[in-house]
A and B are shown apart, each in its own frame.
Chain A
Amino acid sequence: MKVRIKFQKYGAMKFIGHLDVMRYFQKAFRRAGFDNEYSKGFNPHQIMSFAAPLGVGLTSDAEYMDISLLSSDEPEIMLERINAVLTEGFRVVDFHILPDAKSNAKTATAMSLLASADYLVSLKDGYMQEGISSRQEFEKAFLAFYESDEIIINKKTKTTEKEVNIKPMISLLAFDEEEYRSRLKPLLEDNIREIKNESCADIYKNDIKVYMQLDTGSSSNLKPELVMEAFCDSQGLEFNKFAWQVHRLEMYARNDKSSKLIPMYALAR
């Protein structure tokens, strides 16, 4: 059976790269006594796949991984068992057995349905500079940046460099949690069950932060770091890649009919 797991990654674990996170969970499942399915062959490995792996340095409330189990207890018991063997910085918040792939072909490719993600970007303490020396100043500057008709950046790949307008790739902007929640609601499908758990995002004294929803996935993808760099460039600020803490809040698929968003955990439920 396929199982979708939602987990948080925080604290010092932001320094652990994606491949090591995979190895970590493979060992964690073994410690928890999960009955994982293995690939065939001489070097069998646990069947698992991730949606949009997080970069080093980022934290998250919503990482998703699909695994394949041969048998399972009730989801609550499984959740307890896995959390009992995890170390500080990782916590599983949802364990959801997906319906059989045959009756719902879409679930099997859920990870490829990924359409967008919410981020909270905070200024780390000690990185204030002129132009962003207070929350008010930052908000004003960020709005000025966002409200222009086009936001053109130079997107570099290994071989090419092209100008891209990233403005259409930003679908939500807010400066505090309440504003974020209220702007998010109309974008979501109705009657989405919420998972109650405290956010693991780091909190900074300066309170300078921005909530954003960005295109994420194979068809259109925008990294929050690029937005921050474009913001700094547009406002004549120095961009310091270490100054901003990026935190992922949620990942979504899009319902093609209604164009509304469905959080990954609520898919196929």
Chain B
Amino acid sequence: MRKLALSDEILLSVEKPARYIGGEVNMQVKDPKKVDIRFCMCFPDVYEIGMSHLGIQILYDIFNRREDTYCERVYSPWIDMDKLMREKKIPLFALESQDPVKDFDFLGITLQYEMCYTNILQILELAQIPIYARDRTEKDPIVIGGGPCSYNPEPIADFFDFFYIGEGETAYNEILDIYKEYKKAGKSRKEYLERVAQIEGMYVPAFYDVSYNEDGTIKSFTRNNEAASLKIKKQVEMNLSEAYYPTKPLVPFIKATQDRVVLEIQRGCIRGCRFCQAGMIYRPTRERSLEYLKKCAYEMLKSTGHEEISLSSLSSSDYSQLQELVYFLIDEFGSKGVNISLPSLRIDAFALDVMSKVQDIRKSSLTFAPEAGSQRLRDVINKNLTEETILDGAMKAFKSGWNQVKLYFMLGLPTETKEDIEGIAVLSDKIAREYYSIPKEERNGKVSITCSTSFFVPKPFTPFQWSRMDRAEEFIEKAYYLKDKINEQLNRKSIKYRWHDPHVTELEGVLARGDRRVSQVIYKAYKAGCIFDAWSEIFNYEKWKQAFEECGLSIEFYNCRERGEDELLPWDFIDIGVKKEFLLREYKRAKAGLTTPNCRQTCFNCGAKVFGGGVCFEDNTSIEAGTGR
């Protein structure tokens, strides 16, 4: 029988012991003594969230297909377990073998959102691995970072041995092959990192030095080791239909956030919304073939026994064969009690037909993400959604029986005025008016509109990466202004308004666009007890504020200034294919209120064509570029 790292007494004293026992359906079982490489994959948040992440499942499968490698998993112990592990000095262990993570060759940490940064330090400390990469010795695991936040790795650069920039499918086999060779030859950690630095897409922070100007901006970013590249090129898997897809994903015992089969139908997005980082870093848009997806859906439902399948992509409606795929899923699996969930669908006749087939209209709601309240501001952010489209879609849905609408907006977008904010209230009201224009006997009770605003955070590698971000106080002021405006509307009783904690957002801003100096703040905040910052009931703003003060750094510097066009940005050494000139051109078009067509309409020469595939080379795309001036 499998041994467990923790005693019954500990497991029975914590919330959800299933988080720590492993043994799930489709878990890989190998004899650790019979492999050359032990890799521990980490999602630095609680189990239920980490288990819902597709990327780890993909890598888990790729690694474990190698006979010489055993890839296991670890997640952040929840605060109750964290306390017990510290008290009893229990080293953090991997779920599969229940062996201490410190005895592994690698610890790979996925970086999905900035607010998990203190959890990385928790993982390292509980694992008894030195928090700073410079303090690690030959016996410590090599700590790798990857995922979307590694596109600006600087705020956490000091904690990692290297970062893998880009999609994991391409280079990991090489990384592991070399490791095995170097380990056998008895080479040192440093020699290995020097070799890794020569693989495209790998960034070894220790091989670079940063100096700063008096005003705090970056003066220079230079390498101190010849093995390191001056530009780090992001890795892209160009053949998604042949690329390996985990057809036997893990199935947790406890309900995970995604308790369903997740089918990634495409990567990237053709839309080019100017606030969206994913829309830039995953360029070019690449689709998986319909036949391949049908096969995956069938195999995954069979191997997991899940009762629901969800399509994953940034904008499902843009998948060219969406109708065929969705009707196939409904016909093939709908009768077998399988639910089909379709996030990010544009509301049109097809969507309404599908939704009426797969959802209970009384319980489900319509979702729109106009992001901004006025057409002017929607043009600025290049969100290609008009009021007419929203009202038309809502009306069609209302006539089919829906009466719940969710609306998502952002406050604090560049160039935003009071009129734009008021526009959110007006648009919400117009949707309600649309509903009440239906004769009373034909409509389904009252309409319920939930209007949520988040606060805009400028992200690296977006046209808004130079933008000033609002202060928490400005956000709060705007939220109250909007609340008042909603209360002035005719249908105010039908509109519920919700907003996010602006302090978390403020911090997210610093961690997103920060430089290497921010690492001290993260370290101090963590040492002061900050952990699980993405959890609003745990987040402690005061401790963070104090950490900034102690380090002599200011939130203002990172968030509340417009960066200059020729300022050296912390992430400039990364090459995502999309060129900085393109982003700047887009920023200028934004300020001029000019929209940019999507990739399928016209190529605007962003630079992603360099990868030689995807939407850039679809037949219907005009490849002649350069109309973007």
A138 CB–B CB distance under 8 Å? no
B95 to chain A, nearest CB (A): 11
Residues of A contacting B17 with CB < 8 Å? 15, 56
Interface residues of A in 1-59 (CB under 8 A from B): 10-13, 15-16, 20, 23-24, 26-31, 38, 42-44, 46, 56-57
Question: Does B21 contact A31, Cβ atoms closer than 8 Å?
Answer: no
Question: Does A15 contact B2, Cβ atoms closer than 8 Å?
Answer: no
B8 CB–A CB distance under 8 Å? yes
Question: Does A27 contact B306, Cβ atoms closer than 8 Å?
Answer: yes
Residues of B contacting A43 with CB < 8 Å? 360
Q: Most chain-B Cβ atoms within 10 A of its Cβ — which of A13, A27, A85? A: A27
Question: Does B304 contact A31, Cβ atoms closer than 8 Å?
Answer: yes
Interface range on chain A: under 10, 10 to 19, 20 to 34, or 35 or more? 20 to 34
B423 to chain A, nearest CB (A): 36
Residues of B contacting A20 with CB < 8 Å? 18, 253-255
Question: Does B27 contact A12, Cβ atoms closer than 8 Å?
Answer: no
**Chain B: CB-nearest residue to A13:** B23
B495 CB–A CB distance under 8 Å? no
Residues of B contacting A24 with CB < 8 Å? 253
Question: Does B23 contact A12, Cβ atoms closer than 8 Å?
Answer: yes
B35 CB–A CB distance under 8 Å? no
A174 to chain B, nearest CB (A): 24
Question: Does A11 contact B1, Cβ atoms closer than 8 Å?
Answer: yes
Question: Does B360 contact A242, Cβ atoms closer than 8 Å?
Answer: no
Residues of B contacting A242 with CB < 8 Å? 8-9, 12
Q: Most chain-A Cβ atoms within 10 A of its Cβ — which of B21, B24, B305, B363? A: B305
B296 to chain A, nearest CB (A): 16
Interface string of B110-154 (1 = CB under 8 A from A): 000000000000000000000000000000000000000000000
Q: Give complex CA distance A43, B360 in Å.
A: 8
Interface range on chain B: under 10, 10 to 19, 20 to 34, or 35 or more? 20 to 34
A87 CB–B CB distance under 8 Å? yes
B303 CB–A CB distance under 8 Å? yes
Question: Does B25 contact A57, Cβ atoms closer than 8 Å?
Answer: no
Query: With A27-B306, A27-B307, A242-B12 in contact, is A12–B360 under 8 Å at CB?
Result: no
B251 CB–A CB distance under 8 Å? yes
B302 CB–A CB distance under 8 Å? yes
Q: Give complex CA distance A42, B18 in Å.
A: 30
A33 to chain B, nearest CB (A): 8
A89 CB–B CB distance under 8 Å? yes
Interface string of B343-370 (1 = CB under 8 A from A): 0000000000000000110010000000
Question: Does B337 contact A31, Cβ atoms closer than 8 Å?
Answer: no
B40 to chain A, nearest CB (A): 19
Q: Give complex CA distance A24, B251 in Å.
A: 9
Question: Does B8 contact A88, Cβ atoms closer than 8 Å?
Answer: no
Question: Does A57 contact B12, Cβ atoms closer than 8 Å?
Answer: yes
Residues of B contacting A87 with CB < 8 Å? 23-25, 27
Interface residues of A in 155-171 (CB under 8 A from B): none
Q: Give complex CA distance A10, B254 in Å.
A: 17
Interface string of B244-257 (1 = CB under 8 A from A): 00000001011100
Residues of A contacting B22 with CB < 8 Å? 12
Q: Most chain-B Cβ atoms within 10 A of its Cβ — which of A12, A44, A56, A57? A: A12
B85 CB–A CB distance under 8 Å? no
B11 CB–A CB distance under 8 Å? yes
Q: Give complex CA distance A16, B23 in Å.
A: 11
Query: With A13-B23, A42-B360, A57-B12 in contact, is A26–B1 under 8 Å at CB?
Result: no
Interface residues of B in 18-74 (CB under 8 A from A): 18, 21-25, 27
Within 8 Å by CB of A27, from B12, B25, B360, lies B25
Residues of A contacting B305 with CB < 8 Å? 26-31, 85
A124 CB–B CB distance under 8 Å? yes
Question: Does A15 contact B1, Cβ atoms closer than 8 Å?
Answer: no
B560 CB–A CB distance under 8 Å? no
Residues of A contacting B410 with CB < 8 Å? none
B404 to chain A, nearest CB (A): 15
Query: With A27-B304, A29-B305, A242-B9 in contact, is A12–B25 under 8 Å at CB?
Result: no
B278 CB–A CB distance under 8 Å? no
13 extra interface residue pairs, beta carbon distance < 8 Å, beyond A11-B1, A43-B360, A85-B305:
A12-B2, A12-B22, A15-B21, A20-B255, A23-B255, A24-B253, A30-B305, A30-B307, A31-B305, A42-B359, A46-B337, A56-B12, A87-B24
Residues in chain A within 8 A of chain B (CB atoms): 10-13, 15-16, 20, 23-24, 26-31, 38, 42-44, 46, 56-57, 85, 87-89, 124, 242, 245
Residues in chain B within 8 A of chain A (CB atoms): 1-2, 4, 8-9, 11-12, 17-18, 21-25, 27, 251, 253-255, 301-307, 337, 359-360, 363
Interface CB pairs A-B, < 8 A, 11: A12-B2, A15-B11, A27-B251, A27-B305, A27-B306, A29-B305, A30-B301, A42-B360, A87-B25, A88-B1, A88-B2
